[in-house]
Chain A
């Protein structure tokens, strides 16, 4: 089976060419924006076109149903999740932004969805892992680096850093470049750690170091154990 990108375009559509002379702002918006407005109304905020790319602001709580519709509607077919990430601006007054890059292979379209997460509120958005499997690790990375929770994620735990990492979320702007702890503190923590305690939940049968795990992890494991036992 061969799946051809651009297959949903009318026959005779010319092959794509390298974009040149893109304007900084303005230009034709992605037609999916109007379709989204017609379908989701108030959940869709403003949009802007910059360097030829369309960004549309959405209500964070409804992201899952929005991408599900974008993926499954025959006029959209955004079947490919490119990336999930977040942006924190240097201006402390600006909210944290969630960013989703989605692409329609059949229509050769690219769309950026953004949602503002106001400061002080719970940093949580619905996980889109049920829609795109590729969101699994990408959302875990955002959780690891920014501390944004993804409700409904099947396995939300740190991915690049270890489970008991206690310094916070490295890509947040209040996280210093060299980390929160001094080099000597990091070294003494590393030397004092039991290597077996670095095993994660999946491997506890071999790690046998339950009592040395952080309290929140122990609680989660116990809850999971009860669930399985029930």
Chain B
């Protein structure tokens, strides 16, 4: 019997497309012959807006790119701007940033795990993972006053130091999270439906994954042990004891295993960070970028001038450019900043890991069944705010 090819749209705003992604699929029966992704719907224009904002005013925009990793983005941007200014942050700030970035990785992976389980028909892990995520949001809220859009970092420091009792709350989370991960592991890893719907799907070999520019768990699941934290370290990641998690098959199942184990590694890093958390100042003492204490600003002429100039004119880095990569939950996220010596960047470029990862979806989806596209799309871990910009 002759068959007729059919075009169908998945998304935008389909529960399984994780944002405003539209996938145009050409089907032969249930087999995907061609997959054409369409992005571009939000048009937030982050990079354009950055040209009209002072360096510190850009931080709230970084929250909104990958809103599951806002703390990580804040800090990644601050690291880029600090290199442009030639600033070294304090030891306490360094350790607190490591804790914040690893907590962001955990909650991003938790959301991924819960929503992917829902996509594939399992609802319970969604409740467990979102409950754990809520604990981290409570910690963020008590630290910086916001849950989702944290805007926590500043050039040369952080917006606030830890409130009393915060470390105890974090220790409680570090005790409960591994139990939840073990429980999810028991429910999914050897589950017949889960295995049947993930193994052998969307395979990317190591050379393919490198050539397609994949990064993060997508790359590591293909067997490439590349992690920015180890290979191009920032903060003080080079002094922690932890392992890069790699897969061997490069399929949807391995991406699940890699993310699950990465959360355990993040717990390891945070535990070490808590042991070494030093006292001392949080922010550097540099009037070029850091606001003076309120009491000083109202009582000393010099401090008042610094305060005024920083707020009205903004800090001015020297002429130059830099690219600082970081390991976000979705892969290599870097900010490329170009300064012409004024208080606003000439160019603020986001290197978006999810954008590059998603570009490989056609390669991964073609030849599989329609229902497999949902699993493959979920395995990429996309946030459209970062892809569309």
Which one, B38, B206, B347, contacts A200 given CB within 8 A? B38
> Which partner residue on chain B sits nearest A114 by CB separation?
B321
* Contact status A24-B320, CB under 8 Å: yes
Q: Is the interface of A mostly helix, strand, loop or mixed?
A: loop
> Which partner residue on chain B sits nearest A6 by CB separation?
B231
* Contact status B355-A137, CB under 8 Å: yes
Which one, A18, A83, A108, A145, contacts B238 given CB within 8 A? A18
- On chain A, the residues within 8 Å of B238 by CB distance are 15-18
A145 to B48, CA, bound (A): 10
Instruction: State whether the Cβ of B122 lies closer than 8 Å to any Cβ in chain A.
Output: no
A137 to B238, CA, bound (A): 33
- On chain A, the residues within 8 Å of B88 by CB distance are 20-21
Interface residues of A in 109-136 (CB under 8 A from B): 110, 112, 132-134, 136
* Contact status A105-B210, CB under 8 Å: yes
- On chain A, the residues within 8 Å of B43 by CB distance are 160-161
A129 to B38, CA, bound (A): 19
* Contact status B211-A133, CB under 8 Å: yes
* Contact status A202-B233, CB under 8 Å: no
The stretch of B60-68, B332-340, B365-373 that contacts the partner chain? B332-340
A16 to B233, CA, bound (A): 7
> Which partner residue on chain A sits nearest B38 by CB separation?
A200
Instruction: State whether the Cβ of A101 lies closer than 8 Å to any Cβ in chain B.
Output: yes
- On chain A, the residues within 8 Å of B355 by CB distance are 137, 141
> Which partner residue on chain B sits nearest A198 by CB separation?
B38
> Which partner residue on chain A sits nearest B86 by CB separation?
A24
Instruction: State whether the Cβ of B304 lies closer than 8 Å to any Cβ in chain A.
Output: no
> Which partner residue on chain A sits nearest B52 by CB separation?
A177
* Contact status B24-A202, CB under 8 Å: yes
Q: Which residues of B contact A (CB under 8 A)?
A: 7, 24, 34, 36, 38-40, 43, 45, 47-49, 52, 83-84, 86, 88, 205-206, 210-213, 223-226, 230-238, 246, 248, 318, 320-323, 325, 332, 334, 336, 338, 340, 342, 346-347, 349, 351, 355-356, 358-360, 363, 388-389
Q: Which residues of A contact B (CB under 8 A)?
A: 1-6, 15-18, 20-22, 24-25, 50-51, 53, 55, 79-83, 85, 87-91, 99, 101, 105, 108, 110, 112, 132-134, 136-138, 141, 145, 158-162, 170-171, 175, 177, 200, 202-203, 205-206
